[in-house]
Amino acid sequence: MPLGERGGDKTESRYCGVETEFNDDMPHVLAFNLSSAGFDFVIAPLMDPAYRPSLVQKDIFGSAVLPFAGSDLVLSPSQWSSHVVGKISPWLDLDSEDEILRLDSETTLKQEISWASHLSLQACLLPAPKGTTCANYARIPVVKPDDDSMDANTDTLVDTWEMWNSFRLQCEHHSQLSVALDILNTLPSENSLARWFGESVRAAIINTDIIISGNSVHPKTKVVADVSHNHSGADSQRHPLRPYLDYVGYLYQKMDPLPEQERFELGYRDFLQAPLQPLMDNLEAQTYETFEKDAMKYIQYQRAVSKALLDRVPDEEASVKVTVLMVVGAGRGPLVRASLQAAEETGRKLKVYAVEKNPNAVVTLHALVKLEGWEDIVNIVSSDMRCWNAPEEADILVSELLGSFGDNELSPECLDGAERFLKQDGISIPSSCVTSFRCICYFFTSVSRYTSFLQPVTASKLYNDVKAHKDLAHFETAYVVKIHNAARLAPSQPVFTFTHPKPDKESNQRYKKLHFVMPNDTGSAMVHGFAGYFDATLYKDVHLGIEPSTATPNMFSWFAIFFPLRSPICVGPGSTLEVNFWRCCGPKKVWYEWCVTSPSSSPIHNSNGRSYWVGL
C-alpha cells in the first residue's frame, strides 16, 4: 500500500517497509506485516542469528546443512522479489582481529548473498562496520550509534560518509552498490547532510524513537508514543507499528505536490542526452515541438520585444513607422509569432525577416505564414545566417538556435556572422546574456554579452551511467541532463564571457582557472563532474535563465550540462578545488577541454577534441 500519491509522483519514495526479526515462517511474516498492517515489504534476516560456521558440526561428507530461513518454496519467486529485502547477519566483522570471527564473517556473507541471489531478492541490507576500517556493508547511517561513534585511537567523531566512500572506492563505484541512511535523533549540519543527495541512496531507515509527541505536531504522534502500552480487545491484533506507518504516510502526503514543470521533467531526470549538432545537422520536428511547448520562454521573449518596440518607436510614430525585425534561426516560427504578438500588443508595425537554414523547417514556416495571413509582414529566407546578405539592416535582431548547450553550440561563431545585419543604434534580444554550456536559444545584439557558469557536483548516478560505456570517449563528452540526484558542493562561478560585436581580431578561444572553496561544515565529498548553467537579460528587466540562484520558474526548455571526470576527486572540508577549462577553436570544429589541478590532478579531458566537438 503506497504511502499516497502526490501529483505526478511515480517514484519509489512512496513505499514503506518494516524490519522484522528472524522467522522461518515467511508466509506468516508477509501476511502479518503486508496484508494486515499495510507495509509494502519486509527487511528479513536470511539466517538464524545464532548461526556461526565455525560452530556447525560437519557430516561425514565434510559439509553442513545451513540454517536458512526456511525453504525457498514457501513463497513464489515474485513474492521473494517484490516483498522481501534480505538483512545480512549483523554480527559480521570482516576486519576483526579475531581470525575465527573474520573467517566466519567472510563465509557467512558469501552464503547469505548467494542465498539472496538464489531467491531473486532485489536488495540486501548489510551491517555497518564495527570500526573505522572499511568493511563489507551497504547501509551507512547518517550518524553512527553512540557506542560506535568514536574511534578508540583518536577519540574523534567518525564521518560515516568517509566509510561509505572508502567502501565505494574499493568496489570501483559499482552501480549495484547503494546506501540506506539510518535516520537517528541526531543529524549533522545541513551541508553535511546534503552530500548524500548526490549518492545512490535507496532508502531511509526511520527509527521509531525519533518520532516525538506534542501539540506542535500531528495528533497521530500521541498514538505513536503510546503504541507499546496496553491494548485490549480488537486493538491487540493491530500491528504495533501501524501508527508509525500512518504518520509517515501523513507526512508524505503533506508534502507539496510536484509542479507542472517537474512532472513534465520526471522522465528526463538524470538521463544523459547526447549533444545536438545544430549547424551540422537539421533538427527534427519532435525536437522543435519539445521546446516550442515552453510557454514561459516565449512569454519572456514577447515581453522583451514589446519593451524594445516601445523604446524604438514613440507613440506619435506608432501608426506610420515600420520596424525591421530579423529572426535569425527562426526554426518553425515561435519567435516570429512572439514578435508579432508583441507588435499587436504595443500597436507597432513590423516587417519581419525569418531566416532559417533547415529546409524542412522552412516548409513549416511557409505553411504558418499562409495559415496566419502574414504574407505581407513576414519574409521567409532559406539560408544559413552566416551566409545570407540581408537587403536592409535590422532595427531589432533576434535569433533562436534550438541546441543543447550554450556557446559550445557555436553561439559566438553564429553571432560573428550575423552582427553585420544590425543597425548601429539597433536593439537586440538579449541586451546582455549570461549563458551556460547548455543554452538552447541564442539572441544577439549590438552589445550582447554571455558568460558560462560552472558548479562542482556529486552525482554518482550520472558517473556510473557514463562509466557503464567502458570507454574514454564518454568521459570526455558533455551531456545535456536534468540533474536531480546530485549534491551541489559550492556556488556556481562564471567561466567564459563573450561580447558582440566583439573587439577587432578577438579570438573565440578562451581559458579560465576556477577556485571552488568547500564549506567547512560539509565534511569530505566526492566530485564526479561539473554542472553548467546560463542566465540572460533579454532586455531591460526581462530575465531568463537556469543558473540555480536566479533561475526562471516554470521553464523547461533548458537543462544543465554535465562535464564528467574520468576519476572522481575527493575534496575535504575547507579545501579548494582548482579547475581549468578551455574553449578551443579549429577551422572546422569547436571543443572544450577540462581538468582538475587541486587537491589532486586529473588528466586533461578531451584533448584536441578527440572525443567531443561541435562542427562548424
Query: Would you say 95 is a known binding-site residue?
Result: no
| 486 close to 548: Cβ distance less than 8 angstroms | no
Q: What is the 3-state secondary structure (H, E, C) of 391-459?
A: CCCEEEEEECCCCCCEHHHCHHHHHHHHHHHEEEEEEEECCEEECCECCCCCCECCCEEEEEEEEEEEC
Annotation-wise, does 298 bind a ligand?
yes
Burial annotation 590-599 (CB, 10 A radius, 16+ → b, else e): bbbbbbbeee
Return d(Cα 42, Cα 573) in angstroms, integer: 38
Query: Nine-digit cell at 614?
Result: 561541435
Give the per-residue SS3 of 42-95: EEEECECCCCCHHHCCCCCCCCCCCCECCCHHHCCHHHHHHHEEEECCCCCCCC
**Radius of gyration from C-alpha coordinates of the chain:** 30
Residue 400 bears catalytic tag: yes
Q: Tell me the C-alpha distance between 352 and 339, whole Å.
A: 9
The CA distances from residue 301 to 195, 211, 424, 443, 540, in Å, are 37, 49, 22, 10, 12
Determine which one of 19, 289, 375, 400 is catalytic.
Answer: 400
To the query of whether residue 409 is one of the catalytic residues in this protein, the response is yes
Q: Which of 112, 344, 372, 409 is catalytic?
A: 409
**The dihedral sign for the CA sequence 19, 20, 25, 28:** negative
Q: How far apart are CA 400 and CA 361, in angstroms?
A: 13
What are the two backbone dihedrals, phi and then psi, of residue 584, each rounded to the nearest 5 degrees? -115, 145
At 128, list the grid cell: 555497518
Strand, coil or helix: what is 593?
Answer: strand
Q: Which helix or strand (DSSP H or E) is residue 254 part of?
A: helix 242-254
Q: How far is CA 347 from the centre of its chain?
A: 43
Question: Is 356 part of any known ligand binding site?
Answer: yes
Please report the sign of the dihedral spanned by the C-alpha atoms of residue 132, residue 137, residue 140, residue 144: negative
297 is in an annotated binding site: yes
Q: Are 382 and 345 contacting, i.e. CB atoms less than 8 angstroms apart?
A: no
Residue 134 to residue 156: CA distance in whole angstroms = 17
Residue ranges in 439-539 assigned as alpha helix (H): 460-467, 472-475
The Cα 258–Cα 255 span in angstroms is: 9
Residues flagged as binding site: 288, 297-298, 356, 384-385
Annotated catalytic sites, by residue?
400, 409
Residues flagged as binding site for S-adenosyl-L-methionine: 288, 297-298, 356, 384-385
